[in-house]
Amino acid sequence: MHDDARPPGILTASWLVARKDLAIEFRTRTAFLAAVVFALLGVTIFYFAWDSTAVAAMDLAPGVLWVIFTFSALLGLQRSFGVEQADRAIDALLAAPVEREAIYLGKALANLAFVVGVEAITLPALALFYNLPVGEVFLPLAGVAVLAAIGIVAVGTLFSSMAVNTRLAELLLPMLSLPFFLPIVMTAAQTTARLLAGRPIADAWPWLRILVGFDVVFIVACTLAYPFTVEE
Amino acid sequence: MTDRIQHHGVDSLATSARGTDWILLSGFAALAAVYVRVIWFTPIEASQGSAQKILYVHATSAFVALYLAFALMAVASALYLWLRDETLDRVAESSAEVGLAFTTVVLITGPLWGKPIWGAWWTWDARLTATLFLWLLILGYLLMRGAIDDRAMRARFSAVLGLLTALLIPFIHLTVYLFRTMHPMPIVLKPSQPSMPPEMQWTFFPSFLALTLLFAGLLRARYRYATLRDAVLDMENAS
């Protein structure tokens, strides 16, 4: 790949790790398809969990959307470090002459693509099935979805790397992650509800501010924390 | 074969933990004294009746859990990543578990008071929500600890999770308070009483001291257990 012997910089290395993960996912497509099917099933099943004559689909949608996004994201996050367990591929990755932070960032980048990909299919599906007026607010809504995905991925990638090393393995990931997703789900769902109700984005600003703050704090904290979780 | 030797080794270690645990004992005695004072020597509050007496255990347990137990857990976690001393990991482990016990007391006494006063066992009030999530976070922390056999890895993972939890608490507070102010509860009256009569203060503040003493006793007992457990494991690995 590189003719010179110098190891790649942190950004190049992150990109290489992300590309590797995305290539695996693109060739197998197992986790992505599973997550999309799971999300679509969620959209349809949730509709029948409420009396549609008593609760308008519009009132239901923000909650349903964020519950589904969070849980389908967990499916992708579980695989993130799960794929490295076979043949102890993680050892080779850790032995590579790249910064540990780059491995975390690369994994997080691939997970972000995964989560945003699932969101890109689920959001239009929800709009279709629940008859939501998303036309005018689609861009701000997509922006909120990406901001929330960043927070979910920042925390989830770190916990995924930790969970695979425990006896509980993938069972532990939701237990560790979901309490951390609370501020994300709350801010994103509140913002979504305001956007769908046709209120100006400024109305949701107090919520968005917390979401952005969460993203910044946890990207930095988890990037710094990752090397501690992989030392030998 | 080596069983005998091991048992002797553990015995010599255990003698340090034998005898009466005076701190723990005086903690329980102080708590009993506080109960006596709460039940028989503290006046009944005019508007809330005897339900208000839960405050003496409830608010003080919350204080101990949040400002002593979990603060200690976060500090010990941070110091562990820096100094790599196993002692610090055992302190974090012990304070998390004792803190969980105190938070459980908060979550049980809260609804007991809420039912007669608010008319509901539970409301999604900001403080209640934040406490419940803290309880779940610590439960997850202890579950993770139990699922890792390698001691160094367990210590590192726990320290990272402990620190991230400390970072998360402000965000949970921000969101749940924003949630509450935008959706006012039918009853927003809080049990805080800035002007408490002296007779009540004479129960309230000693109760803080009693529970702090109990915390210290439980923490030390739990820490001793962790030290002995690790020592036994070391001996088993050595043989």
Q: Do B153 and A165 touch (CB under 8 A)?
A: yes
Kindly report, residue by residue over A42-53, the tens digit of the pLDDT.
988 888 887 777
pLDDT tens per residue across span A164-214: 999 988 889 999 999 999 999 999 999 998 998 888 888 889 999 999 999
pLDDT score for A151: 96
Percent of chain B with pLDDT over 70: 86
B72 CA: distance to closest CA in chain A (Å)? 20
Residue-wise pLDDT for A84-94, tens only, equals 888 888 888 88
**What value does the mean pLDDT take over residues A124-147?**
89
**Minimal Cα distance from B81: which residue of A?**
A228
Q: Is pLDDT of B4 > 50?
A: no
Greatest alpha-carbon pair distance for chain A in Å reads: 67
- pLDDT for B7 equals 52
Whether residue B212 is predicted with pLDDT greater than 80 in this model: the reply is yes
- Output the pLDDT for position B77: 96
Mean pLDDT of chain B: 85
What value does the mean pLDDT take over residues B59-69? 91
| pLDDT category of residue B14 using cuts at 50, 70 and 90 | low
- Judged by CB atoms closer than 8 Å, whether chains meet at A210 and B174 is answered as yes
Picking from A34, A191, A41, the residue whose alpha carbon sits closest to that of residue A125 is A41
Tell me the two tokens of residue B198.
Answer: 């002296």
Is residue A156 over pLDDT 50? yes
Q: Using one digit for the tens of pLDDT, what is the confidence trace for A92-131?
A: 888 888 889 999 999 999 999 999 999 999 999 998 988 8
Name the residue ranges covered by the structural domains of chain B. 20-238
Of B143, B156, B179, the CB nearest to A172: B143
Question: So what's the pLDDT on residue A52?
Answer: 74
- The Cα B10–Cα A173 span in angstroms is 36
In chain A, the percentage of residues whose pLDDT exceeds 90 is 51
Q: Return the number of CB contacts < 8 Å for A and B.
A: 80
Interface of B with A (CB under 8 A): 81, 133, 136-137, 139-140, 143-144, 147-149, 153, 156-157, 159-161, 163-164, 167-168, 171-172, 174-176, 178-179, 182
Say yes or no for a CB contact (<8 Å) between B156 and A222.
no
Q: What mean pLDDT value characterizes chain A?
A: 89
The C-alpha of B31 sits at a distance from chain A's nearest C-alpha, in angstroms, of: 33
Distance, in Å, from the CA atom of A26 to the CA atom of A194, rounded to the nearest integer, reads: 36
Distances, alpha carbon B162 to alpha carbons A176, A184, A185, B146, in Å: 11, 19, 22, 15
Distances (CA, A) of B54 to B8, B107, B109, B217: 47, 12, 7, 23
**Helix and strand counts by DSSP (H, E) for chain A:** 8, 0
State pLDDT tens for residues B25-53: 999 999 999 989 888 888 887 777 777 88
% of residues, chain A, pLDDT over 70: 97
pLDDT (tens digit per residue) in B147-194: 999 999 999 999 999 999 999 998 988 888 887 765 544 433 445 545
